[in-house]
Amino acid sequence: MATRASTQTESNVYQILGIGVWPGRNFSGESARLREETGYSGQMESLLRANLKIEALGELVHLQVELPEGATTPLKMLLVFQTFANRMVQRSEEAVREAGEEVSCRKGCGACCRQLVPVGQSEALHLAALVAKMPWERQATVRARFARGMAALAEVGIEPGFDQGVDRNAARDLGERYFAAQVACPFLEDESCSIHPDRPLACREYLVTSPAANCRNPGPGRINMVPMAGPLWTSLAKLDGVKDGHVAWQPLIFSLAYAEGEPEPERVAEGPELFSEFVNHFRKRPAPQAPPSA
């Protein structure tokens, strides 16, 4: 059995989450993707491997991720949070099948891609970076969609900015006005997501068992959401920051404008600390106090 690392940070993560953390080696696969896709520039030796066991919808789910050991940001750890989200969504799909139902979401049914998609700072910056890496011709097409969408929303009084809809009623009203404007996601092509591996966490956790056609007119009682073991996109957004007691978020359509303006400084913390906090938000638990130093 592998020996758990002895640094105080690793010990804290183990005690807080009940996960085993080992010193990173030159792992292939996930480590390489972490470096390439999230901009992590540390040495491979500064990664930690974490084994997590978490209860999700009546089952104990096992998950292994690799974490930067030192200082990093939620943006640079986005692949880790996406990996966690994918496994939790997979568990939800399993639970649906166990109940004798099926997820009705399919490639080509893009009605939900006209709903408001909330993103926090790290996902907004990630989407902007994704667009910036596109070949110029495709980038120009996508940027034009963003611009048209923002113009259409401005006509109905929806403007860029974080802290959109700081309470449930305001958020519901904003979502209804957004859907009524029928502004498609700039990444929607042929009624399918063109950035599916990079889609926001809010998109990953939005699954239904009701007929897909109902999503075009999502009135009361017409949409049956797939239960999740915990909140995903808000767990990530809380890492970015909470303002006046509210999670700071904005519609995806404003991501480019935000990134190209004057975004807030990114939060910096050690990788295990950010992962610990994210999982505890998902489990709807307050952030625990770290054990005292030895």
pLDDT tens, position by position, 92-110: 999 999 999 999 888 878 8
Lowest mean pLDDT among 70-79, 152-161, 168-177: 168-177
> What's the Cα-to-Cα distance from 232 to each of 46, 67, 193, rounded to whole Å?
27, 18, 19
What integer best gives the mean pLDDT of the chain?
81
- Is the CB of residue 186 less than 8 Å from the CB of residue 127? no
Residue 21 has pLDDT above 70, yes or no: no
Give the pLDDT confidence score for residue 206 in this predicted structure.
Answer: 93
Residue 282 confidence (pLDDT) above 90: yes
User: What end-to-end distance do the CA atoms of the chain give, in Å?
Assistant: 24
Measured from the Cβ of residue 64, the count of other Cβ atoms closer than 10 Å reads: 13
Structure tokens, 81: 């949070």
pLDDT category at 7 given cuts 50, 70, 90 is very low
At a CB cut-off of 8 Å and minimum separation 6, what does 143 contact?
131, 256
The residue-averaged pLDDT of 218-229 equals: 86
**Does position 32 have pLDDT exceeding 60, yes or no?**
no
Residues 16-24 have a mean pLDDT of: 43
Please state the rounded mean pLDDT for residues 286-292: 41
Alpha-carbon distance of 243 to 251, in angstroms, equals 17
Q: Residue 288: what pLDDT? A: 41
Q: Among 40-49, 68-77, 236-245, where is mean pLDDT lowest?
A: 40-49
- With pLDDT > 70 as the criterion, what percentage of the chain qualifies? 79
In angstroms, rounded to a whole number, what is the distance separating the alpha carbons of residues 110 and 213?
10
Q: Stretch 244-269: mean pLDDT, rounded?
A: 89
* Tokens linked to 171: 């958020």
Q: What is the pLDDT of residue 47?
A: 84
Please determine, for residue 17, whether its predicted confidence score (pLDDT) is greater than 70: no
Q: Residues 41-56: what's their mean pLDDT?
A: 73
- The pLDDT confidence band at residue 290, using thresholds 50, 70 and 90, is very low
Residue with tokens 């009940």: 18
